Chains A and B, each alone.
Chain A
Amino acid sequence: MTVTTRLRSGETRPAGAAPSRARRRRVASLKAFLYVAPALAFSLIFLIVPTLQTAWYSLYDWNGLSVATWAGVQNYIDIVQDEQLRDSFMHVGVLVVFYSFLPIAIALLLTMVISRAHALRGMSFFRTVLFLPQVIASVVIATTWLSIYSPNGLLNTLLRAIGLDSLTRVWLGDFNTALVSVGFVGTWLNVGLCLVLFLSGVGNVQPELFEAARLDGASGLQEFFGITLPALRGQITVALTLTVVSSLKTFDLVYITTRGGPGNSTSVPAFEAYNRAFNSGQVGSAASVAVVLTIGILLITALIGRLQPKDTE
């Protein structure tokens, strides 16, 4: 009510006595607030309140049904002390390499090759194929790889066909290879994303630059490190952010392929949080894992953001 009356009194005032600048600005900002109010209410109810609730739950020992008992920071201490939880954070560290660093390296290599062959026929076709994994539902991807890794799956059949029988194994069931196998699916998944990003970045580089470099007798490698890589700094930052975040919150691949097994060798924090909250009745512990994971993702994203070149934006 006060907003509207003020507004109206402002309007009816004779032109000579205009309201002070500050007041006008305040009215304007209140109006602006009304515009964003629905969105703000939405994020308050569905984002901010649940986040605070999660943080609050993490301080309790609670099975989700009975009255909780205060646990203080015990759930957080457990993350460090409990071998299973600690391992899940280690595993996600390994996954970052496979989900992020490897795909970026591979995509850069491919960019180097492809960007030199500008007139490659059917380029858009290959680009689509490489990007396809990003479009397919992750459940489909996981199920497909489950079959590829199975004892008589594609991978083992291929190995046998070329006489490498000694290498065949149950990839997802072996304590030594399960985590790497899950990680490799992430590599396959993210190469396409990185490549499409990088190729669009290379497309922005003026062709004269490459021409000039070639006239000066630069080799492919020199061209790559002298022109392509610096031009791609922005895209690499974006790729790094997207892939690192996706690796940290990995859940679907693990849930479908291994359920954290064999033993706990592929358990990750997101899976632990889900399992503890909804299956084993350790809501407090699940919440603390979620809080640590969220803070970790925010911190890492902020760090990666520092790599972003200021001038390109």
Chain B
Amino acid sequence: MNGKKRSWTGVIAVSVAVALSLTACAPGAGSAPAESSGPVSKDVAGAGDVTLTVWDQNTDEGITDAQEKLNAAFSAKYPNVKIDRVTQSFADLKTTLKLALSGDNPPDVVQANQGYPDMGAFVQGGLIRSLNDYDGLYDWSSYYPESLLKINSFSADGKTWQGDNLYGISQTGEVVGIYYNKKILTQLGVEAPTSLDELEKDMAAAKAAGILPMAYGDIEKSPGIHLFGVVQAAIAGSDAVNKLVTGADGAWTDDASVTAAKTIQDWSSKGYITEGANGVSRDDALAQFEAGQSAFYIVGTWKQAAISEAMGDDAGFTTLIPKGADSPVTTGGEGLAWAVTTGSKHPDVAAAYIDFINNADAAKTFIDENSLPSVIPADYTPKPGLETDVFDTYGKVTSSGGLVPYLDYSTPTFYDTLTSAVQQLTDKQVTPEAFTEILQKDYSGFVGSK
């Protein structure tokens, strides 16, 4: 009995000691490495033998091949640099990157998602370094259009998105738009829509002809962001949505957002989108569209290669022009930002690497692999068909400032809030007004606490 009692007191004593040593400071205190502020250089060959650990999410076919080619080319140019590539899906990267960055041995180069939930939190935690000094060396500011640089920028404290410090550069361009089936539109005798009114007219015609107007599957919850984003952008315009997402001005309960919510619920009531979409997977909906069973499908340009392979010349891509505007406005931006970690021991090599895989030569590698680069080379003529649609649209929206950010960038918890609210909206569990109030509650809590 005696021994048993003693071992218990031992365990308790140890537990208390551990608990006390833990509570000595708040979680996260003193974990961020100090930012090096030494002089920067372009010199890679003189850095000696370096192993660069790189975390990316370029897993899509085409994009991963391009990445492999670029890595091989970099190592061929600088034999002293070995690239240790760690690649995983977007969702896996999102969940593991925070842990990797806050650990003792962070990777040197990582792909960080833009917006407050990821990049903002990394900047705030001092985990990725400002690239302003390297921008001076490599002149990214003149290669990328202003609108794309802004998306990858934050204030130094990580609290204001699109601030003065550049934290990354991106390889690929992204626009969310409406893919359409040319055969079905010809059969209905309508043109590809360029405004919300036209889209609704086309969908009504499809419905009347017994064709599903728009395939939509939302079991994974993320497609809801794109559906609402495209409609909201076409109603509110780029300025209002940009200000809203960056936290500069406006509210989710504003008229434009309520109208967008009403429009989507209306589509659901009229049977314009797949019935019971909350139980249909995104891939099943896409397969339905690809099989010619629906007239429209909303998704980003990253599906260009897949859709073009499945449908050939039957597929087209369009975006919507808001009332009173003369160019399209839609959700989009660029691929995840390539960033350099604060803990990297070889920032010069890391910066040279991200320049190498993002520059104009790299853009050509991506085009060769049927992917849309963030900056389309001026001398490149896209292949006729879907590629022309996609490349032209991207050129138009980036040059006219028609890109609005992904709505889930708004607050750290907005992804969950928005996706679950859209599911409630399409299933008529909430009114459009109540839908916008759910969003506003999350938003005002975050914006108010900044």
Contacts and interface: CB of A to CB of B under 8 A. Distances in A.
Interface string A145-175: 0100111000000000000000001111111
A57 B424 CA distance: 32
Contacts of A150: 279-281, 284
B420 interface: yes
A282 B219 contact: no
A117 interface: no
A52 B18 contact: yes
Nearest to A259: B221
Contact of B276 (A65, A69, A170, A278): A170
B413 interface: yes
A255 to B, nearest CB: 11
A278 B278 contact: no
A279 B415 contact: yes
A278 B26 contact: no
A275 B413 CA distance: 10
Contact of A262 (B19, B94, B424): B424
Interface stretch (B120-128, B172-180, B354-362): B120-128
Interface residues of B, number: 50
Interface string B112-152: 00000100011011010000000000000000000000000
Contact of A279 (B94, B218, B281): B94
Given A173-B276, A263-B420, A62 B18 contact: no
B219 A172 contact: yes
Interface stretch (B42-50, B59-67, B95-103): B95-103
Interface stretch (A25-33, A122-130, A194-202): A25-33
A113 interface: no
Nearest to B277: A173
Interface stretch (B1-9, B238-246, B377-385): B1-9
Contacts, number: 146
Interface in B402-450: 412-413, 415-416, 419-421, 423-424, 427, 429
A48 B17 CA distance: 12
A22 B3 CA distance: 10
B223 to A, nearest CB: 12
Contacts of A70: 26
A129 B129 CA distance: 57
B219 A173 contact: yes
A52 B15 contact: yes
Contacts of A65: 28, 98, 101-102, 121-122, 124-125, 127
Contacts of A260: 420
A146 B283 CA distance: 13
A133 interface: no
A3 to B, nearest CB: 14
A52 B19 contact: yes
A67 B278 contact: no
Interface string B178-200: 00000000000000000000000
B210 interface: no
A64 B98 contact: yes
Nearest to B279: A173
Interface string A221-262: 000000000000000000000000000000000000011111
A170 B279 contact: yes
Contacts of B420: 260-264
Contacts of A57: 27
A170 B280 contact: yes
A258 B219 contact: yes
B415 A62 contact: no
Contact of A64 (B23, B102, B219): B102
Nearest to A36: B7
A67 B29 contact: yes
Interface in A27-76: 28-29, 32-33, 44, 48-49, 52-53, 56-57, 60, 62-70
Given A65-B122, A262-B427, A56 B23 contact: yes
Contact of B279 (A26, A62, A66, A149): A149
A52 B22 contact: yes
A261 B427 CA distance: 12
Nearest to B412: A281
A138 interface: no
B279 A174 contact: yes
Contacts of B419: 261
Contacts of B429: 175, 262-263
Q: Which 8 residue pairs are nearest across A and B when measured between Cβ atoms? A: A173-B279, A170-B276, A170-B279, A65-B125, A173-B278, A29-B3, A262-B278, A278-B95
Given A259-B220, A260-B420, 20 more contacts: A29-B3, A56-B22, A57-B27, A60-B26, A65-B28, A65-B122, A65-B127, A68-B29, A146-B281, A151-B275, A151-B280, A172-B219, A173-B219, A173-B276, A259-B221, A262-B427, A263-B420, A264-B420, A279-B95, A281-B117
Interface of B: 2-3, 6-7, 11, 14-15, 18-19, 22-23, 26-29, 94-95, 98-99, 101-102, 117, 121-122, 124-125, 127, 218-221, 275-281, 284, 412-413, 415-416, 419-421, 423-424, 427, 429
8 contacts: A56-B19, A62-B26, A150-B281, A169-B276, A170-B280, A173-B276, A260-B420, A275-B416
